[in-house]
Amino acid sequence: MTTFDSSAPRVVCLAGGVGGAKLADGLARVLPPSNLTVIVNTGDDFRHLGLTICPDLDTVLYTLAGVANDETGWGRAGESWRAMSEVGRLKGPDWFSLGDLDLATHLTRAHWLDAGETLTAVTSRLCEGFGIAPAVLPMSDQPAPTLIETDTGDILPFQVWFVRERWQPPVRRVILPEDVRASAAAVRALETADVVIIAPSNPFVSIDPILNVYPIRAMIEDVPRAVVAVSPIVAGRAIKGPAAKMMAEMGLEPSAAAVARTYGHLIDGFIYDCRDEGMAAEDGLALLCADTMMTGAAERERLAREVIAFAQELLA
Amino acid sequence: MTTFDSSAPRVVCLAGGVGGAKLADGLARVLPPSNLTVIVNTGDDFRHLGLTICPDLDTVLYTLAGVANDETGWGRAGESWRAMSEVGRLKGPDWFSLGDLDLATHLTRAHWLDAGETLTAVTSRLCEGFGIAPAVLPMSDQPAPTLIETDTGDILPFQVWFVRERWQPPVRRVILPEDVRASAAAVRALETADVVIIAPSNPFVSIDPILNVYPIRAMIEDVPRAVVAVSPIVAGRAIKGPAAKMMAEMGLEPSAAAVARTYGHLIDGFIYDCRDEGMAAEDGLALLCADTMMTGAAERERLAREVIAFAQELLA
């Protein structure tokens, strides 16, 4: 295993949940901590049982801390469910599962938010509590709820569609809020980044919400640097979650090529899975095929190294 | 065991934590459910870890539901502490212990409060969840925080003094909020009550906060009915908690007689423990000595029957 040294590029990784968390973990394993900032989607945050729940942030935190439940893709390993079972018995809403260990994160976050701290500051405290060295930043300190308009015209909060309705209602469009601003910390990280990596997360409900936060898209477009994206679609299917299903419903071919076209001129390089043989370069987009599945820690590290090396070539 | 029948008096019991919960449980065992309303102190409610915690309400609920931890006097039997240990590891505040089962109550309450329901409505839902038949009402739907001014002039929220500081800082005075109003349900219960029972709870931090809620004191004073109090002081000591210590610090002799004088003309009858031989009637106050310790369910029932029978004599 090689780790990039002090001449390593300064990397900002835009991440959603599982895929983003795994690549972020790979990057954390090969980069000096001060060279990595993970900016995480908070569009699927919601208020539940009186608490602010940040599913993508928590998946990234748990993965970087080595306490994630890799089988479910959410929540913590070794979890127990005493509080949640009792909520069910008391006829409280139990459609969103919060384990006893997971609850500690939400309770601690609620304490500091109640004390007036920003979500950025609270996330930094949680990183410290979990022993996470790289910076993990919410995309914004403002609420920025993603809404899903279904084919029947219903408009659902993201988690209601994603978890309660098990992402089954077909999606007509994703509605993102206007006038959300990035935190100062996120802007600072982007200002000094050599490389921006768009993780293999859902382009529409994980990455677009981040790009939609002012001025993140403009900063990525305008500043000269290498911007690379990793495809979340492998062989026409999402590794996990609704990305492929959503693309089909929104009139897009569910393919790595369609993901690359979605990002368009925003990206300089695109990493697709070697299983997707049909990828062809267009418009001068640099391409790299890799094994993107990240089934274990070694695969995360390897992919992270390949992504960084690919981006460094684009910088040169 | 005899249970009062449909000609039983309509009883309102004013209750704080442990002692109040035990007497309420005794009353619930001998009265038809529709004849009992327990109005509970919410002066020690506070916001913690983002949640609204109602310690006295919960002690009453858990005791009536048969799930209370009788050894500690707070929280639930068979409790576990996974969430709380993890909050400590994340450097969140862990001075107030919330067990995993207990958390379910606070989370469910938070959900319904967030949905805009009153604390009265939420408490009714929790009663249903726990299978509790008598009405349990918070003294008010408004926040009514009790503050403790210590001998150094510090003014502490009640739970900070009581739990975090282990009720050690000497008390100069108890500060109760102004302009707090009773819920409609509490007023209705008092309007139709034949008997008001003041439970063996701390007069200053459990009962006074209830009496301070408009128009509870006036309703108890004005309407003809039997009002009886049970002494929380036995042989010069509080059975549990800071009542005796507070009385000494506030210049009162810690005795059953002093508790009776504190309630003054508000009460028609006073039940003291038979260990307190020095009690003497004054000002036409009716007296009854009883074993007030309520060590088990049988003792709670027996004391409840004695208290009701005593009050009925005063009604006649």
CA–CA gap between residue B93 and residue B111 (Å, rounded): 22
Cα Rg of chain A, angstroms: 19
Q: What residues of A are in contact with residue B90 (Cβ under 8 Å)?
A: 104-105, 108, 125-126, 129-130
**Min Cα separation A31/chain B (Å):** 25
A90–B104 CB contact, under 8 Å: yes
Residue A1: predicted pLDDT: 44
Per-residue pLDDT of chain A (316 residues; tens, 9 = 90+): 446 766 899 999 999 989 999 999 999 999 999 999 999 999 999 999 999 999 999 999 999 999 999 888 899 999 999 999 999 999 999 999 999 999 999 999 999 999 999 999 999 999 999 999 999 999 999 999 999 999 999 999 999 999 999 999 999 999 999 999 999 999 999 999 999 999 999 999 999 999 999 999 999 998 778 999 999 999 888 888 899 999 999 899 899 999 999 999 999 999 999 988 778 767 789 999 999 999 899 999 999 999 999 999 998 7
Domain residues of chain A, as ranges?
Answer: 11-45+135-315
For domain A11-45+135-315, say whether CATH 3.40.50.10680 is its number. Answer: yes
CA–CA gap between residue A228 and residue A199 (Å, rounded): 9
B89–A100 CB contact, under 8 Å: no
Q: ipTM of the assembly?
A: 0.92
Residue in B with minimal Cα distance to A126: B90
CA–CA gap between residue A180 and residue A186 (Å, rounded): 13
A80–B91 CB contact, under 8 Å: no
Packed helices B100-114 and B119-130: angle between N→C axes, nearest 10 degrees: 140
Burial of A151 (0-12, 13-18, 19+ CB in 10 A): exposed
Q: What residues of B are in contact with residue A57 (Cβ under 8 Å)?
A: none
B107–A128 CB contact, under 8 Å: no
CA-CA distances (angstroms) from residue A194 to A188, A223, A312, B86, B310? 12, 10, 9, 37, 83
Closest to A129 (Cβ–Cβ): which among B47, B90, B113? Answer: B90
B113–A89 CB contact, under 8 Å: no
Closest to B80 (Cβ–Cβ): which among A82, A91, A110? Answer: A82
H helix or E strand, kind and range, residue B172: strand B171-175
Closest to A83 (Cβ–Cβ): which among B49, B101, B111? Answer: B101
Sheet containing B36-40: order of strands: B135-138, B36-40, B11-15, B195-198, B226-230, B269-273, B286-290
Of the candidates B303, B295, B312, B301, the one whose C-alpha atom is nearest the C-alpha of residue B28 is B301
CA–CA gap between residue B62 and residue B68 (Å, rounded): 5
**Min Cα separation B33/chain A (Å):** 20
Residue in B with minimal Cα distance to A86: B104
* DSSP 8-state code for residue B294: -
Mutation target for A interface from B100, B114, B126: give the one with most A CBs within 10 A.
B100
Backbone phi and psi for residue B269, each to the nearest 5 degrees, phi listed first: -140, 155
Residue B1: predicted pLDDT: 44
Closest to A111 (Cβ–Cβ): which among B50, B108, B126? Answer: B50
**Min Cα separation B103/chain A (Å):** 6
Of the candidates B233, B230, B242, the one whose C-alpha atom is nearest the C-alpha of residue B205 is B242
Q: What residues of A are in contact with residue B51 (Cβ under 8 Å)?
A: 50-51, 107, 110
Residue A53: predicted pLDDT: 97
Q: Which residues of A80-92 are buried (b: 16+ CB within 10 A; e: fewer)?
A: bbbbbebbbebeb
Q: What residues of A are in contact with residue B77 (Cβ under 8 Å)?
A: none
CATH match for B11-51+133-315 among 3.40.50.10680, 3.40.50.1220, 3.40.50.300, 1.10.1380.10: 3.40.50.10680
**Min Cα separation B29/chain A (Å):** 22
CA–CA gap between residue A137 and residue B125 (Å, rounded): 39
A103–B103 CB contact, under 8 Å: yes
Contacts of A67 (CB under 8 A, 6+ apart): A76, A77, A101, A130
**Min Cα separation B106/chain A (Å):** 9
CA–CA gap between residue A12 and residue A28 (Å, rounded): 11
Burial of A113 (0-12, 13-18, 19+ CB in 10 A): middle
B153: left (phi over 0), alpha (psi -120 to 50) or beta: left
Of the candidates B180, B251, B196, B186, the one whose C-alpha atom is nearest the C-alpha of residue B229 is B196
CA–CA gap between residue A203 and residue A16 (Å, rounded): 9
Q: Can you say whether the dihedral through the CA atoms of A226, A227, A233, A238 is positive or negative?
A: positive
B100–A101 CB contact, under 8 Å: no
Which pairing describes strands B46-48 and B51-53: parallel, antiparallel, or unpaired? antiparallel
Backbone phi and psi for residue B139, each to the nearest 5 degrees, phi listed first: -65, -25
Closest to A83 (Cβ–Cβ): which among B49, B92, B107? Answer: B107
Q: Which residues of A touch B (CB under 8 A)?
A: 47-52, 80, 82-87, 89-93, 100-101, 103-114, 125-126, 128-130
The pair of three-digit structure tokens given for residue B209, joined into one six-digit string = 């906060």
Residue B238: predicted pLDDT: 84
The pair of three-digit structure tokens given for residue A245, joined into one six-digit string = 């299903």
A105–B125 CB contact, under 8 Å: no
Of the candidates B83, B115, B85, the one whose C-alpha atom is nearest the C-alpha of residue B100 is B83
CA–CA gap between residue A59 and residue A82 (Å, rounded): 21
B90–A126 CB contact, under 8 Å: yes
Residue A24 burial (CB count, 10 A): 31
Backbone phi and psi for residue B124, each to the nearest 5 degrees, phi listed first: -65, -40
The pair of three-digit structure tokens given for residue B280, joined into one six-digit string = 């003497």
Closest to B111 (Cβ–Cβ): which among A49, A100, A113? Answer: A49
Terminus-to-terminus CA distance in chain B, angstroms? 24
**Min Cα separation A261/chain B (Å):** 42
Residue A303 burial (CB count, 10 A): 23
Q: What residues of B are in contact with residue A47 (Cβ under 8 Å)?
A: 114
Residue corresponding to tokens 């993970």: A38
A50–B50 CB contact, under 8 Å: yes
Q: What is the DSSP string of chain A?
A: -----TTPPPEEEEE-SHHHHHHHHHHHHHS-GGGEEEEE--TT-EEETTEEE-HHHHHHHHHHHT-B-TTTSSSBTT---HHHHHHHHTT---SS---HHHHHHHHHHHHHHHTT--HHHHHHHHHHHHT--SEEEES-SS----EEEETTS-EEEHHIIIIITTT-SPEEEEE--SS-B--HHHHHHHHT-SEEEE-SS-IIIIIHHHHTSBTHHHHHHHS-SEEEEE-SEETTEESSSSHHHHHHHTT---SHHHHHHHHGGG-SEEEEETT-TT----TT-EEEEE-----SHHHHHHHHHHHHHHHHHHH-
Backbone phi and psi for residue A70, each to the nearest 5 degrees, phi listed first: -70, -20
Q: Can you say whether the dihedral through the CA atoms of B112, B113, B114, B117 is positive or negative?
A: positive
| Low pLDDT (below 50) residues in chain B | 1-2
Q: What residues of B are in contact with residue A109 (Cβ under 8 Å)?
A: 50
B87–A110 CB contact, under 8 Å: no
Residue B222: predicted pLDDT: 83
**Min Cα separation B198/chain A (Å):** 29
